[in-house]
Structure 1
Amino acid sequence: MQTLSTSVVSLHSYVESHTNEKKLSKTSDKKVSIIYFLALFYTFLSLGFGAGLIGPTLLKFGEQINSPLDRVVYILFARSFGFLVGTLAGGFLIDAFPLLGRTFLACSLFFMSATTIMIPFMDHIIPMIMVHLMWSLTAGVVDNLAQLLTIRYYAQVNFNPYLQALHGAFGVGAFLSPLIIAPFLQSTSPPDQWHYAYWLIGCLHIPNLVWISIYAIRDELCSKKPKEITLENKEVIFEDTKLETTIAPDDQTKSPGKVLFLGLITVFILLYVGGESAFGAYIHTYASLHLNFKKDIAAYLNSVFWASFAISRFCGVALSIKLSAIQMLLADLFGCIGSMSLLLILNKSSLAIWIGSVLFGLSVGSIYPSAI
């Protein structure tokens, strides 16, 4: 689930209104850092790790907390609700404290890593739900801040490829996560063997935490006070070591037409995210319970879905050059309807679920970047 704060709307307005203007001499001497982008890329990779874990282990949660599936699904509700609140909180944080984005991102990564490691220790449903809620809250903040920091940092160049790459990184992480956990779900493995996958992925967050923390300490907590320049009622802030742009709200973004358009896009993305997250979370359970897949094989089914999702995200970068956003969205929606129809009609076919998962992943993967 992805959400951008109101600062993104203001930022797009600023970039479009200055595309044909001469850049400031001070900014022209600056060069953007690909190393910084790789840190943000790793951040979205970590988000993908967490998203890909939930599907293959949903039944394991029920075994550990000794609860039926109809109670275990409250974990998914808690994760979705927490992600929604977290993305909103991330937007408010970056708007209220625009110079502390990396600091908040580092703190959120710490809690995301800690809660991932804590999940295997929860043996009752309420503590399990609370830990998942904490994870999703911090993951929502991470999702929002990483996108906003990317847009802000690359505002003076074409940031679209960088943003598309972030979304692709999420798909790569979600693809790798079931592959990591599949060996721990084999029938010959001990019942609690899946714990090691959570601990491993929790530890994989740590290098990312250290990486972002270095930028936060160097560029925010220990940096000199930035110089502020007013340019056509836009507040532009330059740091000594990095180039970032913070934009004050534009009155034009508050027009009724744009507010209505933003509301419709929000509802559309809400429906899209619900379909994507529900499919990724339930496809393993459906294949295991109704098609008698072995748990490790069902994990590979999860991985295939997220692999096609990642391919769609990366291919969307090239397709967006030739096709308009409307054309891409229409193609994606037809693909989603077709793949879902296939799965509904041939719901007892093992081959159909593999084909349908691939087609749905290819169709749904580029919806969010195209809508944005």
Structure 2
Amino acid sequence: MFDDRRWGLFKRNLQPTLTLWSAFCSFGLCMAFLGPTLLDLRCQTHSSLQQITWVFFAQNFCVLVGTIIGGAFKKTFSCSLSALFVSTLLISAVFSIIPFCNNVVILAFVLAVAGLAMGCIDTIANLQLVRIYQKDSPIFLQVLHFSVGFGAFLSPMIADPFLSETNCIKNNLTANGTASDLTHIRNSLVPHHMVNETQFDLPTDGLVISQVSYAFWIMALINLPVPVAVLFLMCKQGFGGCCGKKSTPLLPAEELPRDVQMDRLSPGQEKALRAKEPDGLIDCLKGLHLQEAPCTFFVVHVIGAVVLFMTDGILGEYSGFVYTYAVENPLAMEPRVAGYLNSLFWASITLGRLASIPVSGKLKPATMVFINLGGMIGTFVLMLCFPASIICLYVGTGLLGFFLSSTFPSMLAYTEDILNYQGCATTVLVTGAGVGEFALQMLVGSVIQLSETDLFLVCGLTFSCLALLFYLVLLLVHRLHSHLTTTEPTKTGTIEESQFQYQS
């Protein structure tokens, strides 16, 4: 997995790498807490189920906005670290403030702020890790996405002991509330769609009895070392007014990431180089010079984003509706048994990301993406062949999570490799993945109640086939792009090495 060269590179970049991994753990911690705690938050805000599910929308929509905002900090490592520090600190602040939100509108606003922070972390961590390791980034990206899985695994475990086992609003009508009803409701909650929400009659007035506040405060404390680690890295790199004189960089000047090298330039040199760089997402997509960039430069971005739109959309719609599919005919599983499907799905994703770390050192990202997409299609075909088999559904859920697990980091590494790590592909791909998870979940939620019981699996198979189709097109475009860039080399990116020397 790690040869001498990769191990040496890792040791030279140890602190920034560990900091980015820990920031992504914060992202996972914030990503997974809302579903289990939503009913207790409903009691805390005295709101109905229909009202409280809008906080899902507020958070997830702002995650999309945050991914775009995060791309604005891509030019320099110092700006990225500053944004990362603010974002990780905001997550701890949000966890601390949530227990004091007694109104659903205020809660939605606080979670929207958390969504902006999550989106920034998503883009910045992926982008900076790719820029540091470049062609060696696949292994480190796999670890990065394992970190988000670990955070998402940890968050519900912290919350579970503090969740209400009966109705957390007490009055004369809820004295006989049962835990089984709450379990079913929790598993039915989906970020952008509440299945048959009117069938659940939960009170909004009465005495609130909930201990979930302790869970949020524990998560705030657990997350607090992350912004401290980012601040320490900022001081080590010499960024920020609180640190005084710039310290010695973590790496020799010639081995620093290009962003860090540019931070060391004199003002005149830096201004000249900035003028040559894209300033925003649109300019980035057009290439460093519109008249010199081949048309395939734009096409690679679009197709890569579409592939992740499909695959992350599958992740969102499957995790959101597999429980609903399982408790309906023809499977008609018991709610308690069906509730394990989501846990199995996320556990297999985390396990798959862990297994992908050594595999990515042996296989090329392009090969891994192809295997993942083929495995997803085969899994959906298997489940469609045996639609009434509970065992097949459990096996298929585990396999699907395993194949989905490494698709995003492998696709990101492959696309950046095609474009020679020019930087803007990460922003485009992260945004495309977020839109897919948001949009396809809404689409499937709007048709899940139709009479065709296997429509849920048909949607998954359709999205998987479309993802494979677009990926095959991307392979062809890659060959064309390689031909154009070798026969008509551009002058972009040819910056004198002397401009990158550390200014003492």
Q: CA deviation at 1:311?
A: 1.7
1:41 aligns with 2:21: yes
Question: Highest Rg: 1 or 2?
Answer: 2
Q: CA deviation at 1:259?
A: 0.4
The answer for the alignment partner of 1:84 in structure 2 is 64
Question: Using a 3 Å threshold, how does the CA distance of structure 1 residues 216 and 278 change in structure 2: closer, same or farther?
Answer: farther
Q: How does the TM-score come out when normalised to structure 2?
A: 0.56
Question: Using a 3 Å threshold, how does the CA distance of structure 1 residues 150 and 321 change in structure 2: closer, same or farther?
Answer: closer
What CA distance in whole angstroms lies between the structure 2 residues aligned with 1:269 and 1:287? 26
Question: Using a 3 Å threshold, how does the CA distance of structure 1 residues 31 and 195 change in structure 2: closer, same or farther?
Answer: closer
- 8 Å Cα contact 1:49/1:177 also seen in 2: yes
Question: Using a 3 Å threshold, how does the CA distance of structure 1 residues 120 and 350 change in structure 2: closer, same or farther?
Answer: farther
The answer for the alignment partner of 2:223 in structure 1 is 205
Q: CA deviation at 1:169?
A: 0.8
Q: Give % identity.
A: 28
Question: Using a 3 Å threshold, how does the CA distance of structure 1 residues 283 and 214 change in structure 2: closer, same or farther?
Answer: farther
- 8 Å Cα contact 1:39/1:211 also seen in 2: yes
Secondary structure at the residue paired with 2:102?
Answer: coil
Secondary structure at the residue paired with 2:360?
Answer: helix
Question: Using a 3 Å threshold, how does the CA distance of structure 1 residues 218 and 285 change in structure 2: closer, same or farther?
Answer: farther
Q: Which moved more, 1:323-332 or 1:170-179?
A: 323-332
Q: CA deviation at 1:112?
A: 1.4
What CA distance in whole angstroms lies between the structure 2 residues aligned with 1:128 and 1:340? 38
Q: Which moved more, 1:30-39 or 1:277-286?
A: 277-286
Q: CA deviation at 1:200?
A: 1.4
The answer for the alignment partner of 2:156 in structure 1 is 178
1:159 aligns with 2:199: no
Q: CA deviation at 1:199?
A: 2.0
The answer for the alignment partner of 2:98 in structure 1 is 119
Q: CA deviation at 1:90?
A: 1.0
The answer for the alignment partner of 1:313 in structure 2 is 353
Q: CA deviation at 1:147?
A: 2.2
What CA distance in whole angstroms lies between the structure 1 residues aligned with 2:381 and 2:162? 33
Secondary structure at the residue paired with 2:262?
Answer: strand
The answer for the alignment partner of 1:304 in structure 2 is 344
What CA distance in whole angstroms lies between the structure 2 residues aligned with 1:71 and 1:181? 22
What CA distance in whole angstroms lies between the structure 1 residues aligned with 2:215 and 2:312? 25
Q: Which moved more, 1:46-55 or 1:122-131?
A: 122-131
What CA distance in whole angstroms lies between the structure 2 residues aligned with 1:323 and 1:31? 23
Superposition pairs of residues 124-139 of structure 1, within 5 angstroms: 124-139=103-118
AA aligned to 2:212 is: W
- 8 Å Cα contact 2:94/2:110 also seen in 1: yes
Q: How does the TM-score come out when normalised to structure 1?
A: 0.74
AA aligned to 1:122 is: C
Over the aligned positions, Cα root-mean-square deviation in angstroms equals: 3.9
Q: Which moved more, 1:283-292 or 1:144-153?
A: 283-292
Count of residue pairs the alignment pairs up: 332
- 8 Å Cα contact 2:78/2:234 also seen in 1: no
- Structure 2 unaligned residues grouped into runs of 5+: 1-7, 169-208, 266-273, 279-287, 413-504
Question: Using a 3 Å threshold, how does the CA distance of structure 1 residues 117 and 255 change in structure 2: closer, same or farther?
Answer: farther
- Structure 1 unaligned residues grouped into runs of 5+: 1-27, 241-245
What CA distance in whole angstroms lies between the structure 2 residues aligned with 1:30 and 1:333? 30
What CA distance in whole angstroms lies between the structure 1 residues aligned with 2:31 and 2:101? 19
Q: CA deviation at 1:354?
A: 4.3
The answer for the alignment partner of 2:246 in structure 1 is 224
Question: Using a 3 Å threshold, how does the CA distance of structure 1 residues 213 and 286 change in structure 2: closer, same or farther?
Answer: farther
The answer for the alignment partner of 2:30 in structure 1 is 50
Secondary structure at the residue paired with 1:158?
Answer: helix
- 8 Å Cα contact 1:304/1:357 also seen in 2: yes
- 8 Å Cα contact 1:78/1:133 also seen in 2: yes
What CA distance in whole angstroms lies between the structure 2 residues aligned with 1:336 and 1:185? 34
Q: Cα deviations across residues 314-353 of structure 1 (Å, max 9, x unaligned)?
A: 2223333454444433432344345556777888876566
